[in-house]
Structure 1
Amino acid sequence: MREVCFVLTPGFLLLDLAGPAEAFRIANQFGAEFALRYLGVGDSVTSSLGLPLGGLEPLPDTLADGTLLVIPGVTGSAEAYDSDAARQLARWLATHVDPSRHLLATVCSGALLAARAGLLAGRDCTTHHVHLEHLRQFDASAKVRENRVFVEDGAVFSSAGVTAGIDLALHLIARLASPALARDVARHMVVYFRRSPQDPELSPWLSHRNHLHPAVHRAQDLIAGEPEQAWSVETLAEAVHVSPRHLARLFRQHAGVSVHDYQQQIRLARARQWLAAGLSREKAALSAGFSSARQLGRAERHGA
């Protein structure tokens, strides 16, 4: 059993809490063992939506080894962290959280509270793009990374915000339980792809997805699931039960790109992941479905 403690500041963003917390709760349904706790100054706190949350536990005197601390963001951010409650939380974090014994995860502007507690000093980290400069001001020694969904530095994890908190929770579930279990949770939550720390905040895995056509989504799922496969329009059309001509038209109408261009974008994103993992250009290209490193280079030059 691993404890997951959510540290809540007045004005906390409800989705920053609910998204990751639901991911861990669903993980328990699939066999994980996470004990969720909710900590704060006082026994209740009001969210960014004005909805109060009661039954909070007081800040504990000790934390078990291996405890994961999660800090959701707040509305108002920089100003909100000047409140008495936020300063008290920062002092508690500074004296009770030890990255050699505990894990720390921040969602959105929660990174600012971690920085105030000195927990991001000298570390790679990120936050929501509108708060990047605030984070640098809170701790000039922090190595703030832009355009990242989330960043991992040892036992400290930080995410860009809102839905990125779910991506980070899934990443942590994969690390602390298993990748297969994390995939089950992602599927249950209808998350199309579990992004990695190397993916930019505006991930290509989520591009061209702002539509509601089920056949196009199913085709995109197939391509994203196995981009290295030679997905022809005919093969995809048969799998999603429409004609090839109809699928090609639907893809352009709803996704805004052709089937071929979409697959090239996904393959390029996969190749970049393999390159970040240390594979050579030739192996990364082949693993992503390109015929060679030269074809990968052409895709890069054409911005696919």
Structure 2
Amino acid sequence: MALDVWFVLPPRFMLLDFAGPAEAFRIATEFGAPFRLHYAACDTATQCSLGLPVGGLQPLPRQLPEGSLILIPGADCSAEAYAMPEAQQIVSWLSTGFQPQHHQLATICSAALLAGMAGLLAQRQCTTHHSLIERLRQTDNSAQVLENRVFVQDGSVWTSAGITAGIDLALQLISQLAGAATARDVAREMVVYFRRAGQDAQLSPWLAHRNHLHPAVHKVQDLIAARPEQDWSLSTLADQVHVSVRHLSRLFREHAGVSVHDYHLGLRAALAGQWRASGLSKEKAALAAGFSSARQWQRVQQAASAS
């Protein structure tokens, strides 16, 4: 039996918020998932964040089939976009047409604000893009807004952080609705090697300590990030960027704000967490990331939490 998946597009919707999850569900159908995809808006045509017109859209359904999943992408300049009549119509439609006992709702990025405006986040745990956390709290002060989460499920309502987090959420929904094997096939087809779990941080450790312009430090970070499981010695890294060990240590701490050793351990811990989320045991995940044991990984995690 086919499951209806409705992508509801608000005005100025973020194209990647929509296209990433939509492609994930479309590819899932190629692997046999029983999804029937619909693309709806308040009019037959609307415009995305890039200014491109999108036509051939269905109207908002008067009655959702039982079991339907609604996915709503966020919008660019959401404060302005959600004040528009079309967005308010979506809010009204959600507040009357969405039945938590019969449907599921998934919002991406700022679309959580639409769910909040419709009264669907009352007393629920939820999240959104890190820059919109306070706005979401103000939208419904009874909502339990969680910070720095990729996505959050509370009952039949899912909320997620911005942009690429929508793909992580889509893969989780596909896993739940069509099975883990299908989700793995879709992730492989989309070249999403590691799927982030809901409890993972929005602010990726792979991007941490890179807000600088020093080319040698970036090159060293690129080397470590490409193979964090490898035992990188300071002398090997220094040779790669043609500086002394002492000079590299000074440059790295000055520009990255952390020692080479601690940076390396941070990426190993992130990699171990990804291997653990993929199904490996703690010990195997730690070894795959380059730790000598799960105990060493735990010590690194404890040190990070204490700092």
TM-score in terms of structure 2 length: 0.76
Q: What code does the residue aligned with 1:154 have?
A: G
Cα pair distance change 1:189/1:249, threshold 3 Å: farther
Question: What is residue 188 of structure 2 aligned with on the other side?
Answer: 187
Spell out structure 1 runs of 4+ moving beyond 2 A.
203-212, 215-220, 256-275, 283-295, 297-300
Cα pair distance change 1:6/1:209, threshold 3 Å: farther
Cα pair distance change 1:31/1:206, threshold 3 Å: farther
Question: What is residue 135 of structure 1 aligned with on the other side?
Answer: 136
Cα pair distance change 1:296/1:119, threshold 3 Å: same
Give unmatched runs, 5+ long, in structure 2.
Answer: 212-217, 242-247, 249-255
For residues 201 and 40 of structure 1, the distance between their equivalents in structure 2, rounded to whole angstroms, comes to: 29
| Pairing of 1:1-304 with structure 2 (within 5 A) | 1-204=2-205, 220=227, 249=240, 262=264, 265-267=267-269, 270=272, 288-289=286-287, 291=293, 293=295, 296-301=298-303
Q: How much is the aligned-residue C-alpha RMSD, in angstroms? A: 3.7
SS of 1:174's equivalent in the other structure is helix
For residues 62 and 7 of structure 2, the distance between their equivalents in structure 1, rounded to whole angstroms, comes to: 15
Q: What code does the residue aligned with 1:200 have?
A: A
SS of 1:24's equivalent in the other structure is helix
SS of 2:198's equivalent in the other structure is coil
For residues 54 and 302 of structure 1, the distance between their equivalents in structure 2, rounded to whole angstroms, comes to: 49
Q: What code does the residue aligned with 1:14 have?
A: L
Q: What code does the residue aligned with 1:159 have?
A: S
Task: Write the deviation string for residues 152-208 of structure 1: whole angstroms up to 9, x where unpaired.
Answer: 111111111111111111111111112222122112112231000010102336769
Cα offset for 1:27?
1.1
Cα offset for 1:284?
5.0
TM-score in terms of structure 1 length: 0.77
Instruction: Work out whether residues 198 and 273 of structure 1, in 8 Å CA contact, stay in contact via their aligned partners in 2.
Output: no
For residues 169 and 137 of structure 1, the distance between their equivalents in structure 2, rounded to whole angstroms, comes to: 27
For residues 170 and 217 of structure 1, the distance between their equivalents in structure 2, rounded to whole angstroms, comes to: 28
Task: Write the deviation string for residues 109-152 of structure 1: whole angstroms up to 9, x where unpaired.
Answer: 01011111111111111111121111111111111111111111
Q: What code does the residue aligned with 2:142 have?
A: S
Q: What code does the residue aligned with 1:174 have?
A: S
Cα pair distance change 1:266/1:181, threshold 3 Å: farther
- Identical amino acids, percent of aligned pairs: 50
Cα pair distance change 1:260/1:21, threshold 3 Å: same
Q: What code does the residue aligned with 2:299 have?
A: G
Cα offset for 1:232?
6.1
Cα pair distance change 1:108/1:77, threshold 3 Å: same
Instruction: Work out whether residues 150 and 158 of structure 1, in 8 Å CA contact, stay in contact via their aligned partners in 2.
Output: yes
Give unmatched runs, 5+ long, in structure 1.
Answer: 234-244, 278-282
Instruction: Work out whether residues 20 and 166 of structure 1, in 8 Å CA contact, stay in contact via their aligned partners in 2.
Output: yes
Q: What code does the residue aligned with 1:301 have?
A: A
For residues 64 and 80 of structure 2, the distance between their equivalents in structure 1, rounded to whole angstroms, comes to: 28
SS of 2:132's equivalent in the other structure is helix
Cα offset for 1:106?
0.4
